[in-house]
Structure 1
Amino acid sequence: MSAEHADHEYDYEELGLVAGLEIHQQLYTASKLFCGCPTDRREPEESTHRFRRHLHPTKSELGEIDVAALEEASVEREFEYLAFDSTCLVEADEEPPHRIDDEAIETVLEIAGLLDMTPVDEAHVMRKIVVDGSNTSGFQRSARVAGDGAISTSEGTVGIEDMELEEESAGRVAETDAGVRYALDRLGIPLVEIGTKPDISSPAQAKEAAERIGMLLRSTGKVKRGLGTIRQDVNVSIAEGARVELKGVQSLDDIDDIVRNEAGRQVALLDIREELEDRDASVSQPADVSSVFDGTDSGLIGGALSGDGVAMAVRLEGFDGLVGRELQPDRRLGTEFADHAKRHGVGGIFHTDELPAYGVTEDEVAALREAVGAGEDDAVAMVAADPDSAEAAIAAVADRARAAIDGVPEETRGANDDGTTRYLRPLPGAARMYPETDVPAVELDFEGIETPELLTERVERYRSELGLDAGLAEQVAYGRRMSLFEAAVERGVDPTLAAGTVESTATELRRDGVPIENVDDERFLAVFDLYQEGEVTSEGLPDLLAAIAENPELSPAEAAEREGLGSAGDDEVREAVVEVVERNEEQVEQHGMGAFSGLMGECMGALGGRAEGDEVSELLREEIQKRA
């Protein structure tokens, strides 16, 4: 946002902020949505074969082509797909899709119940045109499954407009010289999309609503966890601004910053519009200015002009000083121009608000201005590249500059890691959707569907019924090993010990570099069984888990025996305590029970985790008292 708006918290009611969320969450199912392939993620290096495609937009049933698809297709690219030993013909778009996965249907109906939504009578699959290569078919299959729900926030009710069940896109692996490389392991994973009504009126409420929906989704226990398994899109507008879709917010913690920055960006663009109106601004036709840079010392421009390269420039009448105006932190109007230009294969743009720079001299700037007839109130934007790329890029810059005269353009933007956004494409329209004829409709109803316990309710139950403190109860309820914890408690394991082991101990081991992910739930439960049988102490659990994680070929019992983690007998424990006390006899005589803490640690170390702390403590106090 502009300097005068930086770090400013607006009166969002006065600003007329309106926002809505689209939450995309991968479901945890055995099979993909339209085929029987597994939903496990794979590493690109596991790929067994690959193939390439070129994708093109098609007309809808009304004979229209979606504007977003048209712009995407204007960039000539080849798409390469990494396939695996599990990849089937459906994923390669060489066989029609199968029926919708039953497990996915059951899960979305549970989610609909949690969101107070009404399912549709029949779910009809539609095709949504997508030509960015993220789907081998050139479209994404999606079915509306429910509508008319609501959630509560501290700032009021937020309506849930609709929920769709759709197939996840392929995972983007890398940019290539020819286009983009994707991996097909992610393609087809069932994905639920939840769209709210535009009832959100502040950044804080946007974050709270997203957290609430996220909690409800995780309450099912049937959604995937981890980076990339949930994405938030946010639609934002302000009075006199425009609806802008912000795509791909990965973290809930970023949502309020994203909304705040977008509101500030639109405020700054409206300020620029006002100044441009006062200056009677306009945009000229682009011109070839290559001759200005004959023999230039600028490595960037000189390298671009070598061979058949050209420099194309456009006069921006009345834009002087505004192209460099900050719209978001470290992003300016010129950055927006560059985002559009980069879509056509150029590395960026040059403009007179930042020149001379990059080896461009003052004389060259003057000559550039003269070449396009720019006055002192005008700015000039320029690109240097091969002729086709340069012409397309400078035309895109000119179009974006004209849009700045009108104010805030409707568009789709991508979320950056720093809470800012970048231009992606125009907003899609209705022309991108048409019916999928290969998949039959599915009847939906709530019969037999049970509403799961909410995570917030589970936290309270863990506190009241199992005696966990608030922090540990929340950690377990929201954690990935919740079902493991409950299974351990059912086996009679002390709840606090079970919770601390599956969450705190596992986290500490992971931070220490122990591959704790090698210990699955079955092996965790076998460890708890050894503890319950008195074969290992609670003190020895971390060492036993580490041994199992690092030696997955060993059973828990074998690992305990190899590491010497079996429980010590009463006589062995007392002998170890007496030995420590006698070795520190002078300290005991001098300090009495004041020596307890230091000697306790020494005793536990001598026993190597083979005795419970309470037992060692009692014996140590007894031996100290004898000698004090």
Structure 2
Amino acid sequence: MSEFSISDIGLKVGLEIHQQLATNKKLFCNCKPIESEEYSIKFQRKLRAVKSELGEYDPAVLFEKLKSKTIVYYANSESSCLVEQDEEPPHNLDNDAKDLALVIATSLHSKIFNEIYPMRKTVIDGSNTTGFQRTMLISQGGQIEVDGEKVGIQSICLEEDAAKLLGDKGNIREYSLDRLGVPLLEIALDPVEGDSKKIKKIALSLGRLLRSTKKVTRGIGSIRQDVNVSVKDGGGVVEVKGVQQLDQLEKVVEFEAKRQFGLVKIAEKLRNSDFEGISKRENIFDITENWKSCKSKIIQKALKDNSIIKAIKIENFSGMFGYTPFEGIRLGKEIGQLVKFYGIGGVFHSDELPNYGIEEDDILIVRNILKVNQNDAFLIIAAPSSKIDFAINSIINRLEEAKKGVPAETRLATQTGETVFLRPRPGASRMYPETDIPPISITNQELENATKNIPKSWDESLLELQKKYELNSQLSEQIFDSRYIELFEKIVGKIKVNPTFVASILCSTITNLERNGLNSKLLTEENIVKSFQLLAEGKIAKESIEIIYESIMSGKSQTIDEALRNASIETIDEVKVEEIIVDVIEKNQEIVKNQKERSIGPLMGIVMKELRGKVSGEIVNNLLLKNIKKKLGNI
């Protein structure tokens, strides 16, 4: 397998930032975006593809139609109304969202249009009940400066956020409407050359500018990056959707660079081979009857489900499915991901057989039917009759595209930073005018107000935070970039507690517990605020907070009181603490005699093991030192 440097492959990355705006209401109604797990309303839809004004079908829409999903929606009257259910026309555009969009566009020196035209963007994956997303182009052009380099802005749009996916299994896909219609700002940047660290820094800088307005939502899912990636001689541009964290963004860019350059290598090898293509008439064979004796559990399940099994002969393609220019990059893997999005479990190819319970006798049957020689390859696919031909057409098209390099497609980012096939790239046919909302004029007064409300720069905001709460520069940066900045200011504004300690708990303690696999979503703001109230009232020690959070984030407790009971935490007075310390010193006289005052280290560990969460480490330290000195004076 080869090695490569990102600087040598002509990597270009264009970021699209999607940021929820904290207007506390949705874009075209007054519903509040309150997330809930209790739904009083349930209904379902089947969405279908329609032609654009030009009489054309969008390729991404057609691809989604082939899945033939039934969409089930769950709603709560607190967070959605008839607008979200598509039973009532949209209300007027939310002025707060529009004003904030103008402020951000002005901050980025982007040219705002005098008139805004709401458009419909066709989306039939079920994420919008209407079958389209409402979007408005606010401005074009502009720039953001990152490390002295100006990065151009292509466009800024104000649009509706999508519904939240709850589940996708078989022919049923489920969404909740809590998030549908929340105002979302999309900022598309010019493509830039550079490595993943540079791209991460650009995303961070833009995110900080948005957060400086103090009017955008925080937390996982509130800001998402779509990444358009291409490499030199690759061919198509790949859009990667669903990147929610900066570390994930860095990994996605690195993976796509490797994947796309690997596809370029595969294309070079194919162009130097005798592979010419696949004949749908001559190279596809139904082997359902021939494989009824195959012992593979996968094949037997397919037969039981009345699936059809077909084999595709690919002349002069031997070894190409398994060819691995870079670790994890193979054409066989690409094809496997492609068919999964038709609801098909996968495909078998000749480079990986015998395997999966498919034996040499089964392969021999296929080779005889297809009349393949040692230079040929073949694919086996099992699927319902309603899907198999669509899937085979997609496979044939994908193999023929493999000679060109990287196909233009939309992919989904995984949590590990890889990407998987999602759908073909959409075209211009998906956009058409919104007929329920008239054009929106932007007045000179609104533009003047936007200029007056440009937020402070990130550096200024950080310095202000640092001075106001006497934080060091590192902690100021961490709390400003975190999802807890508003909560931090609420706590230190209302409760008499050390701001540095609060910031450290929110930025470090919770993060460390998350890294250990615990769920921070279980830790409500109410619980966090109450923990600091108890600390300020002297009812718990500083050390108790981590124990409480660990109990709640692990699911063992739901409330602070329950966590205190489960962890047997209760404060004890200094008299009792001193009794315990004297007892520990008596039991460890040899350590005190040999190490003298340095014995405070090992003894501290022994005492805190017994008193953890019941008294502060500072009190224990002072009482230990006092009693060690007293003991040494008596020796």
TM score, norm. by length of structure 2: 0.82
Gaps of 5+ in 2: none
Relative to structure 1, the CA distance from residue 494 to residue 250 in structure 2 (aligned partners, 3 Å threshold; closer, same or farther) is closer
Alignment partner, residue 517 of structure 1 = 524
Q: Secondary structure, in 3 states, of the residue corresponding to 1:405?
A: coil
> Is it true that 1:60 corresponds to 2:60 in the alignment?
no
Contact map agreement 2:238 2:408 (CA 8 A) in 1: yes
Question: Which 10-residue stretch deviates more, 84-93 or 488-497?
Answer: 488-497
Work out the CA distance in 2 between the residues paired with 1:158 and 1:27. Answer: 23
C-alpha deviations, 1:101-142, integer Å up to 9, x for none?
223223323433443333332332110000111111000111
Counterpart of 2:485 (choices 478, 482, 490) is 482
Counterpart of 1:10 (choices 3, 6, 15) is 6
Which residue identity lines up with residue 284 of structure 1 in the other structure?
S
Percent pairwise identity: 35
Relative to structure 1, the CA distance from residue 69 to residue 497 in structure 2 (aligned partners, 3 Å threshold; closer, same or farther) is closer
Which residue identity lines up with residue 526 of structure 2 in the other structure?
V
Which residue identity lines up with residue 54 of structure 1 in the other structure?
K
Alignment partner, residue 85 of structure 1 = 77
Alignment partner, residue 255 of structure 1 = 249
Alignment partner, residue 377 of structure 1 = 375
Q: Secondary structure, in 3 states, of the residue corresponding to 1:25?
A: strand
Q: Secondary structure, in 3 states, of the residue corresponding to 2:137?
A: strand
Counterpart of 1:450 (choices 450, 453, 469) is 453
Work out the CA distance in 1 between the residues paired with 2:223 and 2:59. Answer: 27
Instruction: Measure how far apart 1:432 and its partner are.
Output: 0.6
Contact map agreement 2:105 2:111 (CA 8 A) in 1: yes
Work out the CA distance in 2 between the residues paired with 1:166 and 1:253. Answer: 26
Which residue identity lines up with residue 215 of structure 2 in the other structure?
K
Counterpart of 1:333 (choices 323, 331, 334) is 331
Alignment partner, residue 397 of structure 1 = 395
Contact map agreement 2:543 2:613 (CA 8 A) in 1: no
Alignment partner, residue 351 of structure 1 = 349
Q: How does 1:396-415 map to 2 (within 5 A)?
A: 396-415=394-413
Alignment partner, residue 474 of structure 2 = 471
Relative to structure 1, the CA distance from residue 621 to residue 113 in structure 2 (aligned partners, 3 Å threshold; closer, same or farther) is farther
Instruction: Measure how far apart 1:95 and its partner are.
Output: 0.5
Alignment partner, residue 233 of structure 2 = 240
Q: How does 1:213-232 map to 2 (within 5 A)?
A: 213-232=206-225
Relative to structure 1, the CA distance from residue 314 to residue 527 in structure 2 (aligned partners, 3 Å threshold; closer, same or farther) is same
Instruction: Measure how far apart 1:386 and its partner are.
Output: 2.8
Q: Secondary structure, in 3 states, of the residue corresponding to 1:85?
A: coil
Alignment partner, residue 21 of structure 1 = 15
> Is it true that 1:270 corresponds to 2:277 in the alignment?
no
Contact map agreement 2:2 2:325 (CA 8 A) in 1: no
Q: Secondary structure, in 3 states, of the residue corresponding to 1:283?
A: coil
Counterpart of 2:184 (choices 162, 166, 191) is 191
> Is it true that 1:367 corresponds to 2:361 in the alignment?
no
Contact map agreement 2:544 2:612 (CA 8 A) in 1: no
C-alpha deviations, 1:313-337, integer Å up to 9, x for none?
2221221100122366434212222
Which residue identity lines up with residue 252 of structure 1 in the other structure?
L
Work out the CA distance in 2 between the residues paired with 1:16 and 1:402. Answer: 24
Instruction: Measure how far apart 1:623 and its partner are.
Output: 6.8
Question: Which 10-residue stretch deviates more, 270-279 or 483-492?
Answer: 483-492
Instruction: Measure how far apart 1:232 and its partner are.
Output: 1.3
> Is it true that 1:162 corresponds to 2:155 in the alignment?
yes
Instruction: Measure how far apart 1:581 and its partner are.
Output: 6.4
Q: How does 1:94-113 map to 2 (within 5 A)?
A: 94-113=87-106
Alignment partner, residue 34 of structure 1 = 28
Instruction: Measure how far apart 1:222 and its partner are.
Output: 2.5
> Is it true that 1:208 corresponds to 2:204 in the alignment?
no
Contact map agreement 1:141 1:436 (CA 8 A) in 2: yes
Work out the CA distance in 2 between the residues paired with 1:279 and 1:293. Answer: 31
Work out the CA distance in 1 between the residues paired with 2:190 and 2:540. Answer: 54
Contact map agreement 1:128 1:142 (CA 8 A) in 2: yes
Contact map agreement 2:22 2:215 (CA 8 A) in 1: yes
Work out the CA distance in 2 between the residues paired with 1:364 and 1:513. Answer: 48
Alignment partner, residue 428 of structure 1 = 426
Work out the CA distance in 2 between the residues paired with 1:589 and 1:294. Answer: 83
Counterpart of 1:153 (choices 146, 150, 153) is 146
- How many residue pairs match? The answer is 606
C-alpha deviations, 1:35-60, integer Å up to 9, x for none?
111212222xx122311111112222
Contact map agreement 2:13 2:191 (CA 8 A) in 1: yes
Relative to structure 1, the CA distance from residue 624 to residue 410 in structure 2 (aligned partners, 3 Å threshold; closer, same or farther) is same
Work out the CA distance in 2 between the residues paired with 1:398 and 1:296. Answer: 25
Root mean square deviation of aligned Cα: 4.0
Q: Secondary structure, in 3 states, of the residue corresponding to 1:140?
A: strand
Question: Which 10-residue stretch deviates more, 460-469 or 536-545?
Answer: 536-545
Gaps of 5+ in 1: none
Work out the CA distance in 1 between the residues paired with 2:597 and 2:293. Answer: 87
Work out the CA distance in 1 between the residues paired with 2:569 and 2:369. Answer: 80
Counterpart of 2:462 (choices 428, 439, 459) is 459
Work out the CA distance in 2 between the residues paired with 1:296 and 1:578. Answer: 76
Instruction: Measure how far apart 1:385 and its partner are.
Output: 2.6
Alignment partner, residue 283 of structure 1 = 278
Relative to structure 1, the CA distance from residue 39 to residue 582 in structure 2 (aligned partners, 3 Å threshold; closer, same or farther) is closer
Relative to structure 1, the CA distance from residue 352 to residue 453 in structure 2 (aligned partners, 3 Å threshold; closer, same or farther) is same
Instruction: Measure how far apart 1:249 and its partner are.
Output: 1.9
Instruction: Measure how far apart 1:476 and its partner are.
Output: 2.6
Instruction: Measure how far apart 1:396 and its partner are.
Output: 1.8
Contact map agreement 1:313 1:394 (CA 8 A) in 2: no
Which residue identity lines up with residue 241 of structure 2 in the other structure?
K
Contact map agreement 2:11 2:257 (CA 8 A) in 1: yes
Work out the CA distance in 1 between the residues paired with 2:272 and 2:509. Answer: 65
